[in-house]
Amino acid sequence: MIKLKEIAVLAGVSQPVVSAVLNNTGGGIRVSEEKRRKIRVLADELGYVPNYAAQKLRGRQTPTIGIISDGFQNPMQTVLVSQLMRKFYKKGYFVLLSSNIDDENKQAQGHVAIRELLSRGLDGVILIGSYTQNMKKLLNLPCVILRNPHPEQHFDFNIDSETGTFLAVKHLFEHEHKKIIVLDSGIKYSGARKAFQEADLPMDYLKSFVTSGREEDKDVKDELLRLIHDENFTALVSSNDFIAGRIMSFLQSNGLRIPEDFALIGYNGSAFGRFTFPPLTTVVQPLKLMAEKAFELLLQRMGKNINGIEHCKAEMITPYLSYGGSCGCKAQVVNELINRPETFTLEK
Amino acid sequence: MIKLKEIAVLAGVSQPVVSAVLNNTGGGIRVSEEKRRKIRVLADELGYVPNYAAQKLRGRQTPTIGIISDGFQNPMQTVLVSQLMRKFYKKGYFVLLSSNIDDENKQAQGHVAIRELLSRGLDGVILIGSYTQNMKKLLNLPCVILRNPHPEQHFDFNIDSETGTFLAVKHLFEHEHKKIIVLDSGIKYSGARKAFQEADLPMDYLKSFVTSGREEDKDVKDELLRLIHDENFTALVSSNDFIAGRIMSFLQSNGLRIPEDFALIGYNGSAFGRFTFPPLTTVVQPLKLMAEKAFELLLQRMGKNINGIEHCKAEMITPYLSYGGSCGCKAQVVNELINRPETFTLEK
DNA sequence: ATAATTTGATTATACGTTAAATCAAAAAAG
DNA sequence: CTTTTTTGATTTAACGTATAATCAAATTAT
């Protein structure tokens, strides 16, 4: 790698002159126009790239944000990451991404990703997904934590899945559905329970049902048909849009009309829901909003130099419904973002 | 930020001793067990994090790979990125990601992402997607370029989309289909043409057809039904799996049976194809293979210190078919990876 | 008892950069 | 013509770390 000194020798000047020229920074140094040109040409020809380590050591800051996610395949996370990158770029920050994949297996080795990233000189960090406790002491700089699934751990923003199904079920009530299946037995199911309690409906009108959505899940399909035909369940809230789509196809191929005979609501707001027929009504996770909030909060914390972890906000973000035709509404679909159909970007 | 010298003062030793202890590195320095313990405890308590810039400047190398993609929302790219990260992590490399989003708008500003990333001390780079010419001279270190859409630019590996549709159409021939619709007018359509030429079938048996897959695309739906009912087209190769799924739903709700009345083949091998009914036969893009090849090639080039761009391989990678039931095959679906249903990981 | 070795450290130095302090020569001001 | 200012630089120092060179004291060998 070529360095300033080498350029300086070739240009017949001292090394600080080269530095001053290439950085357009005074530093009190004045250089003649002729030499400036010469230096710039040389730097270009030799392909000079500044040594970051040296610059950084000397105190020069390209303000940099680290985003550490526990994976880049989950579309929710990639949406968050993309949104955040865009925002920080616009604000003049450089963004470094890394992942703590596999760290679960290597607890002993420590959190390579975060350690490495930190040591590369960050001004702030956004942590997405799970992280383990000993990241804590490493994080002695401003950070914001998103969507941490472990309840005993900290987070700043998390999406309120419970309210998601709560809203979905309440909406189905508006379409006169009383017997409803929910594809979850955990937090999303509990949101449905709340809606039933609030509406004073008997709990056996609410069916929890778990399926992988796999092709060979034959029992599940039979059971689904039984619930519909024998027990008169008339609607279903899925745990994600893909499975909702699959169930839609399955029921349609069994002669049921959606939504006339059976109503469906998906979950996640994935763009895929705009490609079923009828389009899915779905619970949208406001990832853009979440990114926006995380962005603002991190800027704030960096300004005040607050080391995030001790001051977590633990704010829940409420999902909302996007109406396709599958729930029984007259479909009023806004097709904002369909140009990248396999992307996960339905949110308004 | 705490530094070695401060620990040294507190421990009552000189700074190099602290360095030696915390790095477990001889350097010729011997330290008593008692002081070692003391130093380690102090470092832990004070939350010492080494200054990367200084370490790097001093010559310490955590071997690092940069991956620069033109976006992290496209599932194809995130699969590539995830695969590559995993491989490099296993090999002991640290991976930094960045994106050249928005750089198109800021030509003048130069390629911030790549510049910043480079200056952070990389040993090799993987470029995914498009890049512009002046990245070239920045890239004076080993690199591998994937999937470059611009034909006038270099690449090492690219997926042969033409052969994808070629294979799909040939497969439909095996199921006795003769009149086939292809949802593309570009390179994928050209693959279909080749298959028709090879089979000596008239070109008007092949219909090119472009749709956004949008809900409101009413003309397209009418035209599709017309082609099927009036012109006896019996099969379709889609440009992606979502649209294939949407068409499947649409046709089913119009009383057509898949695959008995009409056969469908998707494109991309997205996991979503396992959630339609019947599951989609789809053209799988061998992203894992691509990642594997890129990984190997970069290691090779780093070993030999070859600066990629001048030595691009321009190797095409051939897609393959994964058989669901939608083409007419007895569905023999392997559900390897369905536990993350909205992920893009069908590949075997 | 003296020389040689081992132990446990210290001091000096270099990595590439940038900013501050300094300086010589030329130009402008008195 | 001398003094001051301006121009165009050079030299020095510092960022935090890690290694090499050095060194004093303690231990072992002769």
Judge: B248–A253 Cβ closer than 8 Å, yes or no.
no
Percent of chain B at pLDDT above 70? Answer: 80
Q: Say how many C-beta atoms besides its own lie within 10 A of residue A209's C-beta.
A: 18
Residue reference for tokens 């490399």: B93
Query: How much is the mean pLDDT over chain B?
Result: 81
Nucleic acid strand C within 7 Å of B32 CB: yes
Q: Can you tell me the mean pLDDT for B300-305?
A: 80
d(CA A333, CA A7): 61
A44 → chain B, closest CA residue: B137
DSSP3 helix / strand / coil % (chain A, rounded to 5): 45, 15, 40
Q: How confident is the model at residue A134, as a pLDDT?
A: 52
B20: which nucleotide lies closest, measuring CA to C1'?
Answer: D18
Least confident of A214-218, B81-85, B239-243: A214-218
Residue B87 is encoded by which pair of tokens?
Answer: 């491989």
| Residue range B4-24: mean pLDDT, rounded | 91
Whether residue A221 lies within 8 A of chain B, CB to CB, comes out as no
List strand C contacts in A 97-136 (CB < 7 A): none
**pLDDT at position B59 over 80:** no
**CA gap B63, B135 in Å, rounded:** 22
- Is the CB of residue B17 inside 7 Å of nucleic acid strand C? yes
Q: How far apart are CA A179 and CA A169, in angstroms?
A: 10
Whether nucleic acid strand D comes within 7 Å of the CB of A31, the answer is: yes
Q: Does the CB of B16 sit below 7 A from strand C?
A: yes
The number of CA neighbours under 13 Å toward the Cβ of A256 is 22
Are B47 and A119 a contacting pair at CB < 8 A? no
Q: Which residue has the tokens 């450089």?
A: A94
- Across the A:B interface, residue pairs with CB atoms under 8 Å apart total 240
Q: What is the pLDDT along chain A (348 residues), one digit of tens a residue?
A: 788 999 999 999 999 999 989 888 766 788 888 889 999 999 888 878 788 788 888 877 677 888 888 777 677 788 888 889 888 888 878 888 887 655 444 433 335 566 667 666 677 888 888 765 556 555 667 788 887 656 667 789 999 999 999 999 999 999 999 999 999 988 999 999 999 999 999 999 999 988 765 555 677 788 899 999 999 999 999 998 888 888 888 888 788 998 999 999 999 888 777 777 788 899 988 888 999 999 999 998 887 777 656 678 889 999 999 888 899 987 554 433 232 334 333 444
Nearest to B85 among A56, A101, A243 (CB): A101
The answer to whether the C-beta of A333 is closer than 7 A to strand C is no
What dihedral do alpha carbons B168, B174, B179, B185 form, nearest 10°? 10
Whether residue B268 and residue A56 make contact (CB cut-off 8 A), yes or no, is no
> Which B residues 136-165 touch A at CB under 8 Å?
137-138, 140
Q: Please tell me the distance in Å from B200's CA to the nearest CA on chain A.
A: 34
Mean pLDDT lowest among A265-274, B134-143, B208-217, B337-346: B337-346
Q: What is the DSSP string of A22-70?
A: HHT--TT----HHHHHHHHHHHHHHT----HHHHHHTT----EEEEEES
Encoded amino acid at A39, one letter: I
Render pLDDT for A251-306 as a digit per residue (tens, 0 to 9): 887 889 989 999 999 998 887 777 777 888 999 888 889 999 999 999 988 877 77
Neighbours of B65 (CB within 10 A): 27
pLDDT of residue A175: 95
Most confident of A333-342, B55-64, B149-158, B315-324: B315-324
Q: What angle do CA A277, A280, A283 make, to 5 degrees?
A: 170
CB contact under 8 A, A116 and B74: no
Chain D nucleotides covered by protein, CB below 7 Å: 7-22
Predicted confidence band at B312 (pLDDT cuts at 50, 70, 90)?
A: confident
Q: Are B82 and B277 in contact (CB under 8 A)?
A: no
Q: Do B339 and A212 touch (CB under 8 A)?
A: yes
What pLDDT is recorded for position B103? Answer: 46
Q: Which is more confidently placed, B132 or A259?
A: A259
Q: In what order do the strands lie in the sheet with A281-284?
A: A206-208, A180-182, A235-237, A263-268, A281-284, A320-322
CB contact under 8 A, A276 and B246: yes
Q: How far is the CA of B51 from the C1' of D17 (A)?
A: 8
Strand nucleotide closest to residue B30 (CA to C1'): C8
Which nucleotide is nearest to A49 if distance is taken from CA to C1'?
A: C16
Q: What count of other Cβ atoms lies within 10 Å of the Cβ of residue B94?
A: 22
Q: β-strands A64-69, A94-99: how paired?
A: parallel
Burial code (b: 16+ CB inside 10 Å, e: under 16) for B294-333 equals: bbebbbebbeeebebbeebeeeebebebbbbbbbbbebeb
Report CB contact under 8 Å: B250, A78: no
Q: Which two tokens stand for residue A300?
A: 């704030």
A251 touches strand C (CB under 7 A): no
Among A141-145, B184-188, B203-207, the range of highest mean pLDDT: B203-207
pLDDT-based confidence at B345, cuts 50/70/90? very low
Between CA A18 and C1' D11 the distance (Å) reads 15
Taking residues B251-280, report their average pLDDT. 86
Interatomic distance B25 CA / D12 C1' (Å): 33
* Closest chain A CA to residue B345: A73
A residues 267-296 lying closer than 8 A (beta carbon) to B: 268, 270-272, 274-277, 279
Q: Where are the beta strands (DSSP E) in chain A?
A: 64-69, 94-99, 124-128, 143-146, 157-159, 180-182, 206-208, 235-237, 263-268, 281-284, 315-317, 320-322
Q: Is A254 on the interface with B (CB under 8 A)?
A: no
Instruction: Judge whether residue B58 contacts strand C, using its CB and a 7 Å cut-off.
Output: yes
A58 CB neighbour count, 10 Å cutoff: 11
Q: Which of B112, B213, B338 has the CB atom closest to A341's CB atom?
A: B213
* Band (B94; pLDDT cuts 50, 70, 90): confident
Residue B338 pLDDT: 30
Using the beta-carbon criterion (under 8 Å), do A119 and B51 form an inter-chain contact? yes
Whether the pLDDT of residue B137 is over 50: the answer is yes
Structure tokens of B110? 């130069």
Q: Which residue has the higher pLDDT, A22 or B340?
A: A22
User: Do A118 and B49 make contact, defined as CB atoms within 8 angstroms?
Assistant: yes
- Å from A77 to nearest chain B CA? 9
Edge to edge, the sheet with strand B315-317 lists: A315-317, A157-159, A143-146, A124-128, A64-69, A94-99, B94-99, B64-69, B124-128, B143-146, B157-159, B315-317
B211 alpha carbon, distance to own chain's centre: 25
Which one-letter amino acid corresponds to residue B15? Q
Per-residue CA distances from B247 to A15, A295, B5, B142 (Å): 66, 39, 68, 45
- Would you say the C-beta of B57 is within 7 Å of strand D? yes
> Taking residues B177-191, what's their average pLDDT?
94
* Cβ contact A9 with chain C strand, < 7 A: no
Residues of chain A found within 8 Å of residue B114, distances taken between Cβ atoms: none
Where on strand C do bases come within 7 A of a protein Cβ?
A: 7-12, 14-22
Residues 36-55 of B with CB under 7 A from strand D: 48, 50-51, 54-55
Per-residue pLDDT tens over the stretch B39-49:
999 988 888 87
- Chain A closest CA to B175's CA: distance in Å? 22
Protein residue with the closest CA to the C1' atom of nucleotide D19: B27
Residue B144's pLDDT band, with cuts at 50, 70 and 90, is confident
Chain A residues lying within 8 Å of B120, measured CB to CB:
52, 96, 120
What local confidence, expressed as pLDDT, does residue A217 receive? Answer: 64
